[in-house]
Amino acid sequence: MAVAHMGLVGVGTMGSALALNMAENGHDVALYNLDSSTIDALIDRAGDLAPRLSKADSIEALVASMPTPRAILMMVPAGDPVDQTIDALLPHLAPGDTIIDGGNSDFRDTQARVKRVEDAGFRFLGVGVSGGEEGARKGPSMMVGGSPEAWEPIQPILEAIAAKYEGSPCVAHLGTDGAGHFVKTVHNGIEYADMQLIAEVYGLLRDGEGLQAEQIAPLFHTWNEGRLQSYLVEITGHVLDAKDPKTGQALVDVIVDQAGQKGTGRWTVIEAIRMGQSASIIEAAVGARVLSSERETRRIAAPILTPAGVEEYGLRFDERELEAALFTARILAYAQGFRILKAADEEFGWGLDYARIAEIWRAGCIIRSSLLDDIATAFRGDLPGGRLVLSDHFAPLLTQNVGALRRIVSAAVLRGLPVPALSSALSWFDEIRQERGTADVIQGMRDYFGAHSFERLDEEGSHHGPWAKD
C-alpha cells in the first residue's frame, strides 16, 4: 500500500503547525484555506520547508493538484464546517482517498461521517489531536479511529509527525469509527479535571494562605520535579511567574476569572452519565467553569452570603499536604476517565487498548504526566476488575496519600473555600471503598412510594416491603 499524499483544509494555528511538521518530515502538503492569505503567510515563514508547501485556490484545485492515493486532513472547527468540507471534497475524490478529521469532533458525528464517506466509496478517519500549537508543530499525541484499511496508508505519516516517548510514537489506531474522537473527548475531560484540581490548589494558597502568584509559582516548579511532573503543573508555574507588561503586576491577577469551554469536557460528562458511569471529578470541573462564567452573580452574592457559616479555625494548607492531595485527586481523575473509556468500549465494541492509550498520552498531549507510564504498566499487568484504583501500584499510593486529601478538603470546607473537584475526588474514593453503601434506604423508599421492588441479601428474586400505609 502506497503512502498517501497529504492535503490540508484549514490553515489556522493548528493546521499551519501540522503542515510544517509534515513538511519537516519529508511530505509535500497541498494547502487550502477559505482566507488564502494565511497560506501565503505560512509559506513566507516556512523557510527551508516552503518548497514542500503548495497553495490551492479551491477544494477542487487542491484535490486535482495531488497524486493518488490522497489523504486530506481537515483542521476546521468542529460541527457544520466539517460536514461542509466533506460535502465539498466528495465529488472530487478517487477510490482509495481518505478524509481525515483532526478537529475536536463529537464522536457521534464521526460515526455518522465514517458511514457517509464510506457509503460514497471513500475512507474516513477521525483523529483526536492533542498538544496545542506547540504539540502540532513538534509532535502531537494522536488518537485514531476508523477502518484499518484507512489507517494503513496514513500510519507512516502520523507516526513520523507524532510526539515520541523514548522513541515510541504517540499515535495509535484505537478502533473503528468514533473511537479516536471518543478517546480524545475523555482526554479532554481528564484535562478539565486536572486543570480544575490545580486551580483549586492555587486558590487555597492564594486565598487560604494569602500568598502572591510569585510566591506560589516556585512551588509548582518544585512539584514538577517530583511525582506531579506534568505539562499542566509545569505551565501553571510559568503562568504564575508571568508579569503583565502593562501594569507590572502578576499577569494572573489581571486575567478575568471566567473560564471558556468548547464542549469536550461537557461531552465526557454527558456520555459518562448516559452510560451509567460516575464522572464526578470531571463534572465538578465542568460545573466550576460554568459557575466561573456567572461573574455577575458572584459579584452580587459575595457581600450578601458572607460569612456563610465560615469559621476560621486557624486551619492552614501545608505545602506537602497540598502536593499529596493533588497527586491523589489526579490519580482518581485518571481512574474515572479510564472507567468511562471501558464503559464506552463495552457499548461500542472498539476493543480499546487502555495501556496503549496511556502510552500515547505520555508525550505530546496536554495531560502528559509521569503518572501515565505507571498507568500503562498497571494496565499491562493484572488489574483486579480492570480497575486502576485497585492495581498493586495505585492502591497503596491512594491509601498512603488520601489522608492529605481528606485534611485539605476538610480545612477548605471549614474555611468556606470552594474545592469542588478535590472534594468530588475524595467523595468518590470514599464511595467506591464503602462495602455497605446507603442505597438500601433508597431502594426502600423507591419500593415504598412506587412499588419498584428490591433485592434481599438473603434470598433470590425481587421483593416488596411490608409497608403500612393508611
Position 234 contacts ligand 6PG (CB under 6 A): no
DSSP 164-180: EETTEESEEEEESTTHH
Say if CB 354 and CB 451 are below 8 A apart. no
Q: For residues 360 and 365, which CB has a smaller minimum distance to ligand 6PG in the complex?
A: 365
Establish whether 246 is a catalytic residue. Answer: no
Measured CA angle at 248 (ends 242, 261), to 5 deg: 45
On the 0-12 / 13-18 / 19+ scale of CB atoms within 10 A, 200 is: buried
Position 130 contacts ligand 6PG (CB under 6 A): yes
Residue 165 cell numbers, joined: 516517548
Q: For residues 104 and 224, which CB has a smaller minimum distance to ligand 6PG in the complex?
A: 104
Q: Which of 21, 104, 328, 401 binds ligand 6PG (CB under 6 A)?
A: 104
Using DSSP, state whether 422 is helix, strand or coil.
helix
Position 391 contacts ligand 6PG (CB under 6 A): no
Quote the least distance from Cβ 127 to ligand 6PG, whole Å. 12
Q: For residues 215 and 293, which CB has a smaller minimum distance to ligand 6PG in the complex?
A: 293
Contacting residues for 423 by C-beta, under 8 A, at least 6 apart? 284, 409, 412, 413
DSSP 189-220: HHHHHHHHHHHHHHHIIIIIS---HHHHHHHH
Q: Which of 16, 110, 264, 401 binds ligand 6PG (CB under 6 A)?
A: 264
Q: For residues 331 and 365, which CB has a smaller minimum distance to ligand 6PG in the complex?
A: 365
Establish whether 243 is a catalytic residue. Answer: no
Window of 130-138, 332-340, 384-392, 407-415 that interacts with ligand 6PG by CB under 6 A: 130-138
Q: Which residues between 203 and 232 bind ligand 6PG (CB under 6 A)?
A: none
Q: For residues 19 and 389, which CB has a smaller minimum distance to ligand 6PG in the complex?
A: 19
DSSP run (H or E) holding 123: strand 123-130
Rounded to whole angstroms, the Cα distance separating 209 from 216 reads 10
Position 255 contacts ligand 6PG (CB under 6 A): no
Position 77 contacts ligand 6PG (CB under 6 A): no
Position 369 contacts ligand 6PG (CB under 6 A): no
Quote the least distance from Cβ 130 to ligand 6PG, whole Å. 3
CA distances from 420 to 32, 114, 367 (A): 44, 38, 20
Rounded to whole angstroms, the Cα distance separating 362 from 18 reads 19
Position 132 contacts ligand 6PG (CB under 6 A): yes
Quote the least distance from Cβ 195 to ligand 6PG, whole Å. 8
| Residue among 60, 138, 166, 184 flagged as catalytic | 184
Position 191 contacts ligand 6PG (CB under 6 A): yes
| Residue among 134, 191, 271, 294 flagged as catalytic | 191
Q: For residues 281 and 389, which CB has a smaller minimum distance to ligand 6PG in the complex?
A: 281
Position 153 contacts ligand 6PG (CB under 6 A): no
Residue closest to 138 by CA, chosen among 103, 102, 163: 163
Position 105 contacts ligand 6PG (CB under 6 A): no
**What is the total count of residues that contact ligand 6PG (CB under 6 A)?**
13
Position 237 contacts ligand 6PG (CB under 6 A): no
Residue closest to 131 by CA, chosen among 176, 187, 214: 187
Would the CA dihedral through 168, 173, 179, 181 be positive or negative?
Answer: positive
What is the 8-class DSSP label of residue 152?
Answer: T
Position 54 contacts ligand 6PG (CB under 6 A): no
Residue 29 cell numbers, joined: 502538503
Rounded to whole angstroms, the Cα distance separating 392 from 382 reads 9
Instruction: Tell me the residue nearest to ligand 6PG as measured from the CB.
Output: 130
Window of 126-134, 230-238, 272-280, 292-300 that interacts with ligand 6PG by CB under 6 A: 126-134
Provide the H-helix boundaries in 305-318.
none
Residue 251 cell numbers, joined: 499577569
Position 185 contacts ligand 6PG (CB under 6 A): no
Q: Cell 496545542: give the residue.
A: 132
Active site residues: 184, 191
Q: Which residues bind ligand 6PG (CB under 6 A)?
A: 104, 130-132, 188, 191, 260-262, 264-265, 365-366
